[in-house]
Chains A and B, each alone.
Chain A
Amino acid sequence: MSPEGINNIKRRNITNTVFHGLLFLSTLIGIMFLIVLIAQILIKGLGWLDWDFITNFPSRFPKKAGIKSALVGTIWVISFTALFSFPLGVGTAIYLEEYSKKSWYNRLLQINISNLAGVPSIVYGMLGLAVFVKLFNFERSILSASLTLTLLILPVIIVASQEALKSVPNSLKEGSYALGMSKWQTITGVVLPFALPGILTGTILALSRAIGEAAPLIMVGAFGYVAFLPKGPMDYFTTLPIQIFNWTSRPQSEFQNIAAAGIIVLLILLLSANAVAIILRNKYQKRI
């Protein structure tokens, strides 16, 4: 080998090492901030986190304040959101992937859905306020909030489900058709079972995004102080992020600390949702 060649290799090795280091550094920066953030919250909030905190209604006195109504409200809102968004999202994805022909309006539809996934959540909040609260007169209720969050995460579920449906090997579909199956039999018999883990993962991740949303719910009119449990979808409500937001905007420093405690609960909720997503995916993948 010529000496230039050797130099070349040396230079390339150096470049390689430099970029390796830089990329590692950027990873490190992101993780560092996350760790600092979490550590700060844990230090502030852990002392305030106890069973009373979960079972108490909010209060003017930090020592007595709890998240009971917010937690239950979150569960109500998310359950309804799941109920609305899952069938709508999966249905849309099936239509787009399996039934729709390639035409200009279907392409337009597709582009719009992808764009909707990137629309700021506050815009959905305004939409929810205009349509559900005012136009449909659902008022400031769990239903309005769920429908608003459904709109918010629908594009995400659709896109994720479409990806899952796209990953179904064509050979499986052909195998089903070759056995004299109709399109619907093929979709229910082969396509959906294969795509289900992907669809579920996407849905759960989208729902966990919805759990953490505060902005649109403020627009729809969640309350910062609810001292009762909702009994139906038309009731007033609050949710964890709203409650936390409410506390952080108070002047007393104790409220900053219980806000941190609330964040810990929210994080636990989110992480367990993600864990469920992973477990579900693994379970179904094993069955496959």
Chain B
Amino acid sequence: MASYIKVENLDFFYGDFQALHNINLEIEPKKITALIGPSGCGKSTFIRTLNRMNDLIDGTRVHGKIILDGKSILKNEIDVVELRKRVGMVFQKPNPFPKSIYENVIYGPKRHGIRNKSQLDQLVEQSLKNVALWDEVKDRLNESALALSGGQQQRLCIARSLAMKPDVLLMDEPTSALDPISTLRIEELVQQLKEQYTIVIVTHNMQQAARISDITAFFLNGELIEYGQTEYIFTKPCDQRTEDYITGRFG
């Protein structure tokens, strides 16, 4: 089930530095929402608040509300482990575990209690098929995941997230470390995945946001400047700063 996320008056601090200022945003199910903006604009910080990855960093504070399918996820009593099962994340650099391809996919499910071998086998096949990797690796599932190419590794990381059966998939610049062909394959994949998931993708690559996303949000200096349908953001943005950024006349 794809989730609906509502962000209300979100502020975020690293120590004394305020990285996000009063963000209000709705993230729709079965759509790709792209977050764009220059380096240090807060888009990565923002995406990491959605599965509370920032909790891992000492000295961070967050105010405001993030509501996932009607439930506030920033409260202390929320089980972060449970949240991260529902909100998967794919990172900038492919980070497969130094284990076999098979072990990578079942890493999460196995530790969350699925022990049945045939169930795990099925999960591996299904997850790898979902990311169009099955045919490439089905004969060498027990080989090290690090022997795969960068693009394959990233697809494996997506498969690893999908094996947890999440509702939301967060992607933090998932193609910035990949070559153009691998990038294209990931883009295709993301577009297919949106049929089932809510997808939020941070990208440095404006063209990528334009190509694949339905909704685009433009961040600048920790503020959400503008968000709306991608085709409108890229043909007739409302804010001059958005226009400057997407036309490359920035700074």
Contacts and interface: CB of A to CB of B under 8 A. Distances in A.
Interface in B78-100: 81-85, 88-89, 91, 93, 95-99
A181 B97 contact: no
Contacts of A182: 81
Which of A180, A190, A194 is packed against the most chain B CB atoms within 10 Å? A180
Contact of B93 (A171, A181, A288): A171
Contact of B84 (A172, A179, A189, A194): A179
Interface residues of B, number: 28
Contacts of A194: 98
Contacts of A190: 97
A179 B144 contact: no
A182 B82 CA distance: 10
Contacts of B88: 178-179
Contacts of A171: 91, 93, 95
Contact of A180 (B58, B82, B95, B99): B82
A89 to B, nearest CB: 23
Contact of A189 (B51, B83, B111, B164): B111
Chain A: interface residue count, which band?
20 to 34
B32 interface: no
B92 to A, nearest CB: 8
A181 B111 contact: yes
Given A190-B97, A288-B98, A176 B53 contact: no
Nearest to A177: B56
A179 B164 contact: yes
A272 interface: no
A185 B84 CA distance: 14
Contacts of B97: 172, 175-176, 189-190
Nearest to A175: B95
A174 interface: yes
Interface in B42-72: 51, 53, 56, 58
Contact of B81 (A169, A180, A189): A180
B160 interface: yes
Interface string A157-190: 0000000000001011011111111100100011
B84 A177 contact: yes
A250 interface: no
Contacts of A172: 95, 97-98
Given A175-B91, A177-B56, A178-B161, A287 B107 contact: no
A62 B39 CA distance: 77
Contacts of B249: none
B112 interface: yes
B96 to A, nearest CB: 8
Nearest to A288: B98
Contact of B146 (A102, A181, A189, A288): A288
A230 interface: no
A174 B161 CA distance: 12
A180 B98 contact: no
A185 B51 contact: no
A193 interface: yes
Contact of B144 (A174, A181, A287): A287
Interface string A101-129: 11000000000000000000000000000
Nearest to A186: B111
B95 A189 contact: no
Given A174-B95, A193-B98, A180 B112 contact: yes
Given A174-B95, A288-B98, A180 B84 contact: yes
Specify which of A172, A175, A182, A194 lies most central, judged by the most chain B CB atoms within 10 Å of its CB: A175
Interface in A178-214: 178-182, 185, 189-190, 193-194
Interface in A63-111: 101-102
A3 to B, nearest CB: 46
Contacts of A178: 51, 53, 84, 88-89, 91, 161
Interface of A: 101-102, 169, 171-172, 174-182, 185, 189-190, 193-194, 287-288
Given A102-B58, A178-B161, 17 more contacts: A172-B95, A174-B53, A174-B91, A174-B95, A175-B95, A177-B56, A179-B107, A179-B164, A180-B83, A180-B84, A181-B81, A181-B108, A189-B107, A189-B111, A190-B97, A287-B98, A288-B146
7 contacts: A172-B97, A178-B88, A179-B107, A179-B108, A179-B160, A181-B111, A288-B98
Nearest first, the 10 A-B pairs at minimum CB distance are A288-B98, A179-B108, A180-B85, A178-B89, A180-B84, A171-B95, A175-B95, A180-B81, A185-B111, A172-B95
